[in-house]
Structure 1
Amino acid sequence: MTQSAQPTSVWLTKKTFDRLSAELEDLRGPRRHEVIERISAARDEGDLKENGGYHAAKDEQGKIEASIRQLEEMLETADTDAAADDGVVTPGKLVTYRFAGDDEDAKFLMGAREIEDDYEDQDLEVFSPQSPLGAALIGASKGETVQFEAPNGRTQRIEIVDAVPFTD
């Protein structure tokens, strides 16, 4: 008997958690109900083989149900707790880094990509722990230099300048 893998937690800001929760409720309620009504109305028109409105509504229903499942899983495994202020790169940290040989610092937030939508006005870049950069830096500490393979196949060396808990 094979055990199913436990879903890994995903770090979200409270603002993003609240937005995604509201989006889930909208999908479960008004959006789902609207599509069901459109499917019912299209069925009442008769022949479903030639009914474009019916097929479009059924496609939309499938997309809504997939979005509901995805949001439910994300929110069930979400972590919104503040990260420890220990200088170690973990989800929930604002990471300041620089490429080796460069003297210009850059920053990103380690967390779920969905966070970016809530901070567009701040031009906040977000990397997940599963991204090449995030996976390479996770667990590294302030002052360390880490090597990783960039998506273009090149090996990059990055120095961690700082890793502090993200605050809104």
Structure 2
Amino acid sequence: MSTKNLYSTEAKEKIKQLAEAIDYAMLATNLKAQPFHTVPMSTKEVDEDGNIWFLSNKTSTHNANIEREKRAHLIYSDKGNYEFLSVYGRATIGSDRNKIKELYGSGDDAWFEGVDDPNITTIKVEPDDAHYWDTKNGKVISLLKMAGGAITGNEPDLGVQGNLEI
């Protein structure tokens, strides 16, 4: 696997591409504790600055953790395509009704009593450190390349990984 670090605009685009395509991330909060708290979250948006947005209940454990300590870690994993993203950053909770309406979708009705539910908040994660692993051809081709490499003894080109510097 080759290394390609991405910077600024390219890094933001890669975060957007992977986070929105994979959708679900494990959000880790209360990072100073062992074990830290994790919960699956659906990505609602990655904005032009590379910030990742979610909707959350204001009474949730992860919201309480973010109120105490702003650090959060997101882990995205698409094992079907061998695409992975790790984002560490600063999380903030918001209550802007316009932003909530912008992010809200019909699938959110499973968690909230409609877009006007007073318990809905946003969580914005501003990346400080990010790393990605991205195969060029998906899982099947990568497995074939690994098998070929095992037979020939040559290291297969399985894709690219690197740091994302915003």
| Greater helix proportion | 1
TM-score using structure 2 length: 0.20
| Greater strand proportion | 2
Larger Rg: 1
TM-score using structure 1 length: 0.20
